[in-house]
Amino acid sequence: MMSEEEAYFNRVGEAINGGQKSQMFGKPCYKIGKKAFVCFFEHSMVFKLSGEVHKMAMSLEGVHLFDPSGKSRPMKEWVQVPFESKDKWVEFAKEAADYVAGN
């Protein structure tokens, strides 16, 4: 059975125009073309962000850089945002999709 967090992740991903469900590191993700812009990890949504949006996301409580290996090698553009900040997920997903699409 799918968790509430993953179900919400899917609703957000499906709402992005051009987003296609796929896998990244064995985890659910959404891609634009062949480029992932969001993924689901540890009940959080992870976004590929840059610039001011990246800084804003990092300022939220409980947010940290995505480290899928758990070996202190975070992916610098990828921001892991917990479900407690789900009110920001749609906004960040749109920004991430635009970023990977080159807009």
Q: Which CATH number characterizes residue 91's domain?
A: 3.90.1150
pLDDT of residue 1: 85
* Residues with pLDDT less than 50, the chain: none
pLDDT of residue 25: 87
pLDDT of residue 59: 97
Q: Whole domain around residue 55: which residue ranges?
A: 4-101
CA gap 3, 101 in Å, rounded: 29
Encode pLDDT of 52-68 as tens digits: 999 999 999 999 999 99
Count how many domains the chain has.
Answer: 1
Question: What's the angle, vertex CA 29, arms to CA 3 and CA 63, rounded to 5?
Answer: 70
pLDDT of residue 103: 63
What residues have CB less than 8 Å from 79, skipping those under 6 apart?
A: 46, 47, 49, 54, 57, 58, 63, 64, 65, 66, 92
Q: Are strands 75-82 and 44-48 parallel, antiparallel or unpaired?
A: antiparallel
